Amino acid sequence: MTRRELLFDGNEKQVYATDDDKLVIFRFKDEITAYNNVKRAKLKDKGIITNAVSSLLFEYLKDRGVDTHFVERIGEREQLCRKICIIPLELIVRNRVAGTEAMRLGLPEGSEPASVILNLRYNNDTLGDPLINDTEACALGIATPADLKVVYSTGLRINTLLKDLFARAGIILADFKLEFGRASDGSIIVSDEISPDTSRLWDAQTLEKLDKDRFRLDLGDVADSYKKVYERLKAAVK
């Protein structure tokens, strides 16, 4: 597959056109950013690890019938993906309370809610990705009630599958973010990435953080923790 012009240059990823107008190439950079891009750094080989983790997880989901934009990993930092029309929503799936949810509801970090929490966010950097409810998402023309049903049910299905995989890897899947897009046939599919950049992953024994919180909170060993996640997942999927 030939890589053609750069379509989008994001903080941590680039998207390139290909010679097939239904496919794009995602390229993972070594940049790491947090707090809406206020904090940023370069982390050697981070793009290689996030591509490896996200490819592994998307393959795992694909094998279990979840429709995503991922086609195949085509290089250390690159994956081939289906071209989608971005839906500007983020779905946050939470098995444990952490981050903004802990702050917003005044709950202790790590507490386990009685059921899975789903938050919908408007993906808008200028506004800082605010929470949005279903009526707002529909009123703004971002999604229909039927679209939201797919978004929520897909989020819960992915949570069930990934919680189990991470548990076998000795990791608690505390929370994660999903993004969605509309495929050429109109169906809603999962897009973007799932990696330690977009999730909270805690060692099941020690509760050590193995995700982007290591960067957000200056805990050090960011790349080593990401590598640990990849090695453990690789062993768990076998």
Positions that interact with ligand 5GP (CB under 6 A): 90, 92, 98-101, 129, 175-177, 197-200, 212
Q: Which is nearer to ligand 5GP, 78 or 211 (CB)?
A: 211
Count the Cβ atoms, other than its own, within 10 Å of residue 71: 18
CA distances from 35 to 40, 129, 177, 196 (A): 9, 11, 15, 15
CB of 100 to ligand 5GP, least distance (A): 4
Three-class SS state of 164: helix
For 197, phi then psi, to 5°, come to -75, -25
CB of 202 to ligand 5GP, least distance (A): 11
CB of 103 to ligand 5GP, least distance (A): 8
Closest residue to bound ligand 5GP by CB: 99
Biggest CA pair distance of the chain: 51
Q: Which is nearer to ligand 5GP, 25 or 97 (CB)?
A: 97
CB of 212 to ligand 5GP, least distance (A): 5
State the Cα–Cα distance between residues 174 and 180, nearest whole angstrom.
20
Q: Which is nearer to ligand 5GP, 92 or 148 (CB)?
A: 92
